[in-house]
Amino acid sequence: MSKSGSWFGNLIRSIRAEPVEGIRIQKGLDAAITDPKHVDALLPHDPEEEKRWNRQYKENLGGVHIWVDARFEANVCPREKIENFEILGHLGRGAFGHVYAVKYRVDHRLYALKVLSKAHVFQRSFVPWAISEKKMLNAVENKFIVKLHFAFKDRKNLYMVMDLASRGDLNRLRETSLPEMTVKLIIAQIILGTEYLHACKIVHRDLKPDNIFIFEDCFIKIGDLGLAKRLKGRTYSLAGTIGYMAPEVIGTAGYGIEVDWWSIGIILYKLVYLKHPFPKQGGTPKQRLAAITGTKLAFPEVIYPGSSVNDLLRGMLTLSPRFRLGYLKGGSDDIKDHEWFRNISFCEVARKAVRVELDLTPLMPVPSEVYEFLPTEKDDDILPHRFLEF
């Protein structure tokens, strides 16, 4: 197994992306400057250029939902066959399926393969969500959202071939005290990805460390749109992960995109303080709601002296969505323009001109001699009429 893992790690390193010019924020350093000319790269060094970029950025976001809606309805995604992928090993599992590292036999590129059992999806009444996730991932296109490359099915399973996050997800940082600038750049990328989804009229509803992925170049991407929903007004369904659900999701008044800003606030709090802001009192939604509404948001010892991060957290973790940052008149700009981000140029982050360097080793897939999910000639086609749109 070690031999196979070593080979996989070497293969990942052999396809390492070209270095990105600019600042690299390294673990243990607040700012590691790789080139003197980029000393101020994190700052909006040219206000006029930043304004021009913001105008163009907002114009692009303003019409993106039309393009995404058309792609969603067209539902045209490249297809493949499982035989054209070499399975390198198991990476992890989610609520409805398993993820494997695979190599595409056509061009030898590495991907993540998400496998959903048709039987399991049907038994859990997840068919509409599985189809919706495939159509949404295929429709969106953003450098901070995991890309779907192929989607196909056979008699037994549904398959989605996506970007391979060789450094895992944000859970790998849950016990790591990070420099403040590193946290800023991580959150800035999550904000840009979320902002794009909202412009597409999509609410993610399950933003959490498990669904924020870290890639070989240490850039961040949002993934897993299994619970995401295209909004046509307010929605009322109970969806998400209890520890990251906004209070209004558990309530009865309905909700919209504001719930994602709450979830990002929880992620930020955990990155800074390495614990959840609200104590766990039981595992049901009502018990969680009681814990949130009955607990005053508090902050442990000072982690970053002189930082305004606590003020930002208060704004994002406001119980009433009417007063929550990200959902006020200024929208997401209220978060991006907050004092805590004063030395961050979202223009530079969006261009990937700055990045963090995290001391994370590549994930090693667990190989197996037999992959039981693969279909055999004895398998019947499970409910083919239910999965026509996949």
Task: Provide the annotated active-site residues.
Answer: 206
Task: Provide DSSP, 228-270.
Answer: -EE-SS-B----S-GGG--HHHHSSS-B-THHHHHHHHHHHHH
| CA dist., res. 47 & res. 53, Å (int) | 10
CA dist 146 and 163 (Å) reads 6
- SS3 state of residue 158: strand
Give the whole-angstrom CA distance, residue 155 versus residue 96.
17
CA–CA distances in Å: residue 189 to residues 168, 218, 232, 347 = 16, 11, 26, 11
Task: Give yes or no for a contact between 157 and 211, defined as CB atoms under 8 angstroms apart.
Answer: no
Beta-carbon contacts of 76 under 8 Å, excluding residues fewer than 6 positions away, are 138
Q: How far apart are CA 269 and CA 250, in angstroms?
A: 21
114 is known to lie in a ligand binding site: yes
Rounded distance, CA 258 to CA 249, Å? 10
Helix (H) or strand (E) holding 226: none
Cα 286 to the chain's mean position, in Å?
A: 26
**Residue linked to tokens 């901070």:** 144
Please give the radius of gyration of the chain, using alpha carbons only, rounded to the nearest integer: 21
Note the residue count of the chain: 390
Enumerate residues 6+ apart whose C-beta is below 8 A from 249: 205, 238, 239, 240, 255, 259
Those residues with Cβ within 8 angstroms of residue 94's Cβ, 6 or more apart along the chain or in another chain: 114, 210, 224, 226
Q: How far is CA 284 from CA 207, 208, 325, 355, in A?
A: 19, 18, 27, 38
**Residue set of the binding site:** 114
**Residue set of the binding site for ATP:** 114
